[in-house]
A and B are shown apart, each in its own frame.
Chain A
Amino acid sequence: MFIKPSFRLAPDNTRIQFMRGRIMGLAVSAFLSTVSVILFFHPGLHLGIDFSGGVVMEVRTPGPADFTKIRAAIAAENVGEQGVQQFGDSSNVLIRLGLQPTEAATQQAVTRVRAALEKTIPGANIVRTDAVGASVSAELFRDGMIALGVSLLMILFYIWFWFEWQFAVGAVVTLILDITKAIGFLALTRYDFDLVMVAAILTILGYSTNDKVVVYDRVRENLRKYKSMPLRELIDLSINETLNRTLGTSATIFLASLPLALFGGESISGFAVVMLFGIVVGTSSSIFIAAPILLFLGENRLRRDASAAPTQAAPANPVP
């Protein structure tokens, strides 16, 4: 354990022909992304308070919470209650109020619900209050979307600058497919879509890009090394060569996120679960989506000289 490696995630010198599954991979991805887009429109994302505006209060009651009593107390205030639910253990209550007509009304709603709770349930501790007005929630949403959009553009330009355009298009198309799936996942699991989730999606984006860059880097290197190998073989070779790294990195980031999902607390576990999903999607899309797109786009362009010397096949595993 201390000197020699104890195990490998994939045997060395695998020669899996990933590109054979390219149609299948793209089809499955297209299907999942289509379903995700449908899920995005119906039932849609569950907007968190950051983006929807309104009030969220987390209350701890001395014993197990009496939900009927709490609901009645809040309903009496007539502040557009949207949900009183258990949050974590039975003495933790999450109260949601809808967006109030004005900023002043939002503040009044907070004060009134606070007072009502303290009266109905003596000893109740309001441990968290989030109140977001309409103008702020609209701005937070806009800023979140700008952050996502600008990040995608930066990635596009960066890859475009350092690689050929086929790589950039392949990466960005794959990333967009990844994001749609993450959004579909959010719509399905009903996690609150808020700023923290935007951060999660951006992290997935960063991680997924990282994964694609590693495979692409190897493709680029091999393009120089094997001047006449057909692109399809070359991409397969590159994926196989980087397979242990791809799996190793995914495994560590997965391991790092797992405790967060399990013990990170209510507010951060959703973030970690989406991360875990994103790691699986991001890793598989590097192999089954980004690489096939590169193959389709680059078949005749990246390998112009290949047609000139089609017979000159390079050794599969050259030893310099």
Chain B
Amino acid sequence: MMYFSRLKTAAILGACLLGLLLCIPNLFPAPASWIPWRTVHLGLDLRGGSYLLLEVDMKAVTKEKLESLVDGVRQALRPGQIFYSVLEPQSDQNRVLLRLRDATKTDAAVAALRPLINPTGPTNTPDLAIASTPDGTITMTLSQVAMNARATGAVQQSIEIIRRRIDETGVVEPQITQQGDNRIVVQLPGIDDPNRIKQLLGKTAHMTFRLVDENANPNAGGLPPPGVEFLAMQDRPGEKIAVRKRIDVDGADLTDARAGTNQQTAEWVVNFVFNSVGGKRFADITRANVNRRFAIVLDDKVISAPVIREPITAGRGQISGSFTAASANELSVLLRAGALPAPLTVVEERSVGPELGADSIKAGALSLLAGFVLVILFMGFFYGLFGWFANAALVVNVILILAIMSLLEATLTLPGMAGILLTLGVAVDANILVNERIREEFRQGRPPLAALEHGFSRAFSTIFDSNATAFLSHVMLFAFGSGPVRGFAVTITVGIVTTLFTNWMLARLLISTWYIKTRPKTLPV
């Protein structure tokens, strides 16, 4: 028990040295990019920054899917001359309802709709279930698999779009990750007022180009005719305009958008460029509809509805609509980054200014140091020599905790700092258990070496039992906790592991070396 082979001694000291080495990256910036340079990250509560938890509106995702299904149904029934009285999406039941005028055509309709079914998901299950009744009512229900696939896709796509939008703002090192099924965490170091980012993320920025329906009058009251909707004008509150539902050109076909000024009017505008598909469609539409009005719609609001003077075939265009420099810029950023598949809502925000973060570091470091000194003095006085051995182990323990956290690139939060301090308490407990046991064995008349041996071996089972329970409960805290509390759980969990090592290996090695050097007749306990 108290014997250490040379190899074992070297391994223990080597581990301590390695720990020290792994701590070094925290003190200096990386000297060269090829050297692995892993450091502990400071949490946003210490360095200042914003944490935003966004929720993807899954209802909107479903609604959009159903609307495109309605479109598909309309097109599928047209060739067979199948007429219907009702065709509507029912979002709350994830289905599209179709009622035929002529019930005898039900089978024909179902046959025509069948090609709309697509296999999805890993098991290739159909994404639609079509059911019909003899009276000519047909329902098409989205399957759970299809909805899940759709949701996953929407979240993934949102993350990509969010990243592009934030990158445009020049925020350094944003972290964007998925959380749960429909949430996205955005962490913005150094940003203590995330208002601008929230504004950027608050728009889906789905832009469409659609023809204006001049026959319908939105201000006369009443419902819009089929295939037409009344949309608000963005810069003229209260005014509405009748726009066809059919999308002629989609904003997804844009390849670039830049803010600029119109040379004649000196107004701020957004210049855009289409890809080849978009450019061709834009050319076709403008050629066929000269002198009609073409609405540019962004998130269900009409930015402007200019009259088409001549066919636009170059694949380029310009949006004007009483922009300021800032709003033109924002729109161009949104158009470049692309549209979000669904609206995002901020459900949680935590922002900490750099000033408060610095204060927290100071307070945390100060109490950490004070607690450490108190514990060291207590151990020194309480146990004498063995107490100082324990203190040496304690210092190495802190180094190892930092080393492992650097290796994991873990995040140090304010509760995490409290966790380190509490770990010191637990580490000292392990030493106290050992020392008390040695003392007890020695006082019962065992010779020094035997007392040391028994002290360590008997105390270890107790140490293991008590640490195992603490380990388990902090793993739980990590699994169910969130944010800074997880940082707390990480430091304690890491601390328990290093405590077992430093106490069981290092403290024992120190005492054994001391014993071999001095061969004492009595123990200083």
Contact A129 B470 (CB under 8 A): no
Interface residues of A, Cβ cutoff 8 Å to B: 1-9, 12, 58, 60, 103-104, 106-107, 110-111, 114, 125-133, 135-136, 140, 143-144, 146-147, 150-151, 154-155, 158-159, 162, 195-196, 198-199, 202-203, 205-207, 209-211, 213-214, 217-218, 221, 241-242, 244-245, 248-249, 251-253, 255-260, 262-265, 267-268, 271-272, 275, 319-320
Contact B474 A265 (CB under 8 A): no
Interface centre among A103, A241, A268 (most CB of B within 10 A): A268
Q: How far is the CB of B462 from chain A (nearest CB, A)?
A: 4
Contact A155 B353 (CB under 8 A): no
Contact A7 B381 (CB under 8 A): yes
Interface residues of B, Cβ cutoff 8 Å to A: 53, 55, 192-193, 195, 198, 345-353, 355-356, 359-360, 363-364, 366-368, 370-372, 374-375, 378-385, 387-388, 414-415, 417-418, 421-422, 424-426, 428-429, 432-433, 436, 440, 443-445, 458, 461-462, 465-470, 472-474, 476-477, 479-485, 488-489, 492, 524-525
Q: How far is the CB of B293 from chain A (nearest CB, A)?
A: 32
Contact A249 B345 (CB under 8 A): no
Contact B465 A162 (CB under 8 A): yes
Tell me the complex Cα distance, A58–B445, Å: 62
Contact A259 B469 (CB under 8 A): no
Chain A residues whose CB sits within 8 angstroms of the CB of B388 once the complex forms: 2
Tell me the complex Cα distance, A244–B439, Å: 11
What would be 27 A-B contacts, judged by CB atoms less than 8 Å apart? A1-B381, A4-B384, A5-B384, A7-B381, A7-B382, A9-B382, A103-B346, A106-B346, A125-B355, A126-B193, A127-B352, A129-B192, A133-B345, A143-B481, A147-B481, A159-B469, A199-B415, A206-B473, A210-B426, A244-B436, A252-B425, A252-B429, A255-B378, A263-B366, A267-B360, A272-B367, A272-B418
Contact of B470 among A210, A221, A319 (CB under 8 A): A210
Contact B192 A260 (CB under 8 A): no
Q: Can you name 5 extra interface pairs (CB under 8 A) apart from A103-B346, A125-B355, A151-B476?
A: A5-B382, A5-B387, A110-B349, A213-B462, A255-B371
Contact A265 B364 (CB under 8 A): yes
Interface centre among B55, B417, B444, B473 (most CB of A within 10 A): B473
Tell me the complex Cα distance, A23–B240, Å: 80
Contact B482 A255 (CB under 8 A): no
Interface SS of A by simple majority: helix
Q: How far is the CB of B178 from chain A (nearest CB, A)?
A: 16
Contact B422 A256 (CB under 8 A): yes
Q: How far is the CB of B343 from chain A (nearest CB, A)?
A: 10
Q: How far is the CB of B249 from chain A (nearest CB, A)?
A: 31
Tell me the complex Cα distance, A150–B353, Å: 35
Contact B415 A136 (CB under 8 A): no
User: B53: nearest residue on chain A (CB-CB)?
Assistant: A136
Tell me the complex Cα distance, A207–B195, Å: 42
Given A147-B477, A151-B477, A268-B364; A259-B371 close (CB under 8 Å): yes
Contact of B445 among A144, A252, A275, A319 (CB under 8 A): A319
Interface centre among A12, A205, A248 (most CB of B within 10 A): A248
Contact B421 A256 (CB under 8 A): yes
Contact B485 A198 (CB under 8 A): yes
Chain A residues whose CB sits within 8 angstroms of the CB of B372 once the complex forms: 256
Chain B residues whose CB sits within 8 angstroms of the CB of A253 once the complex forms: 422, 425-426, 428-429
Chain A residues whose CB sits within 8 angstroms of the CB of B346 once the complex forms: 103, 106-107, 131, 133
Contact B466 A209 (CB under 8 A): yes
Tell me the complex Cα distance, A262–B483, Å: 24
Given A126-B192, A199-B481, A202-B477; A264-B472 close (CB under 8 Å): no
Chain B residues whose CB sits within 8 angstroms of the CB of A196 once the complex forms: 415, 484-485, 488
Contact B348 A217 (CB under 8 A): no
Contact A12 B375 (CB under 8 A): no
Chain A residues whose CB sits within 8 angstroms of the CB of B481 once the complex forms: 143-144, 147, 195, 198-199
Q: How far is the CB of A172 from chain B (nearest CB, A)?
A: 11
Tell me the complex Cα distance, A162–B417, Å: 32
Interface centre among B363, B380, B387 (most CB of A within 10 A): B363
Chain A residues whose CB sits within 8 angstroms of the CB of B367 once the complex forms: 259-260, 262-264, 268, 272
User: A133: nearest residue on chain B (CB-CB)?
Assistant: B347
Chain A residues whose CB sits within 8 angstroms of the CB of B428 once the complex forms: 249, 252-253, 256
Tell me the complex Cα distance, A59–B428, Å: 40
Q: How far is the CB of B22 from chain A (nearest CB, A)?
A: 24
Chain B residues whose CB sits within 8 angstroms of the CB of A214 once the complex forms: 433, 462, 466
Given A256-B375, A256-B421, A256-B422; A127-B355 close (CB under 8 Å): yes
Chain A residues whose CB sits within 8 angstroms of the CB of B421 once the complex forms: 256-257, 260
User: A159: nearest residue on chain B (CB-CB)?
Assistant: B469
User: B430: nearest residue on chain A (CB-CB)?
Assistant: A249
User: B472: nearest residue on chain A (CB-CB)?
Assistant: A154
Chain A residues whose CB sits within 8 angstroms of the CB of B467 once the complex forms: 210
Contact of A245 among B374, B433, B492 (CB under 8 A): B433
Chain A residues whose CB sits within 8 angstroms of the CB of B374 once the complex forms: 255-256, 258-259
Given A114-B193, A217-B461; A195-B524 close (CB under 8 Å): no
Contact B470 A206 (CB under 8 A): yes
Q: How far is the CB of A151 from chain B (nearest CB, A)?
A: 4
Chain A residues whose CB sits within 8 angstroms of the CB of B347 once the complex forms: 103, 132-133, 135-136
Contact A143 B469 (CB under 8 A): no
Tell me the complex Cα distance, A6–B387, Å: 11
Contact B469 A256 (CB under 8 A): no
List 8 A-B pairs, minimum CB-CB distance, nearest first: A253-B425, A259-B370, A265-B363, A147-B480, A151-B473, A127-B356, A127-B353, A259-B367
Tell me the complex Cα distance, A258–B374, Å: 9
Given A1-B384, A60-B355; A264-B473 close (CB under 8 Å): no
Contact A2 B345 (CB under 8 A): no
Chain A residues whose CB sits within 8 angstroms of the CB of B384 once the complex forms: 1-6
Chain B residues whose CB sits within 8 angstroms of the CB of A265 once the complex forms: 359-360, 363-364, 414
Contact A268 B469 (CB under 8 A): no
Contact A147 B476 (CB under 8 A): yes
Tell me the complex Cα distance, A275–B370, Å: 17
Chain B residues whose CB sits within 8 angstroms of the CB of A155 once the complex forms: 469, 472-473
Chain B residues whose CB sits within 8 angstroms of the CB of A132 once the complex forms: 347-349
Tell me the complex Cα distance, A144–B192, Å: 27
Tell me the complex Cα distance, A259–B443, Å: 36
Contact B524 A260 (CB under 8 A): no
Q: How far is the CB of A130 from chain B (nearest CB, A)?
A: 5
